[in-house]
Amino acid sequence: MEQFEEEIEGKRSPLKIILVVFLILLIVLMTVSYYAVKIDPKPNFRVSLDDVLRNAPSYDGENRINSIQDARSLVISDFMKHVVGKVGSSCKEVKDVCYAKAFYYFVRDEIKYLPDPDQQIIEVPERTLLSGSSDCENEAILLSIMLKSIGLDSRIVLVKRHAYVQVYLPDAARIYKMDEDWVGLDPTCKYCEFGEVPPKDLEILDYVYMQ
């Protein structure tokens, strides 16, 4: 009888091992998924330009500024607060990475890129939104002001005949393998995902900090 029970236990042991290994793998996968979502949250839906302009406060301020450096002193208007609130509503969790993604995809997808005209015109972000199109400098200003409005440090990166944005996000920087905890965002690059910057834009000339 004892010998029979030992044979049964011997037959069961491989099954037990398989079950234990399966449970361990399941726990590991659940843990990795949890922390991936926690560190790298995503917006739950995309917000359109029509959505944000609907019922937006009127804007009757300045149309232009003298230079891209002057964007640092722009005041966050009620119009911009409305836009930021609408776009930010796509994030269920109050996470900086999620907001940065929502703002980036909004500017990338909803603002039509137009090459620089012969005469450089620097618009305030409200005018860029109202027109629905602009060049790289103005898209960079718009995205930077949106990030600034929720307290995120950003900087406009100036390269040869182009400008884009970097946002200070240490957690996301580790995910996207960016240097110095700054994540690159180029809204004029329609095929670029969050954290991707075309190789031609890596030769940086200067920064305009928007803190």
DSSP 150-193: TT--EEEEEETTEEEEEEE-HHHHHHHT-GGGEEEE-TT-TT--
Q: Phi and psi of 8, rounded to 5°?
A: -65, -45
pLDDT tens digits in sequence order for the chain, 211 residues long: 555 445 545 555 666 666 655 566 555 444 333 333 345 788 999 999 999 999 999 999 999 999 999 999 999 999 999 999 999 999 988 889 999 999 999 999 999 998 876 678 899 999 999 999 999 999 999 999 999 999 999 999 999 889 999 999 987 766 766 667 899 999 999 999 998 888 887 789 999 999 7
- DSSP class of residue 63 equals S
Please report the pLDDT score of residue 25 as a whole number: 59
Query: How is residue 145 annotated by DSSP?
Result: H
Alpha-carbon distance of 178 to 199, in angstroms, equals 13
**C-alpha distances out from residue 166 to 17, 94, 144, 179, 198, Å:** 49, 20, 8, 11, 13
pLDDT of residue 68: 94
Q: Phi and psi of 130, rounded to 5°?
A: -65, -35
At residue 83, the pLDDT reads 97
Please give the structure tokens belonging to residue 54. Answer: 């609907």
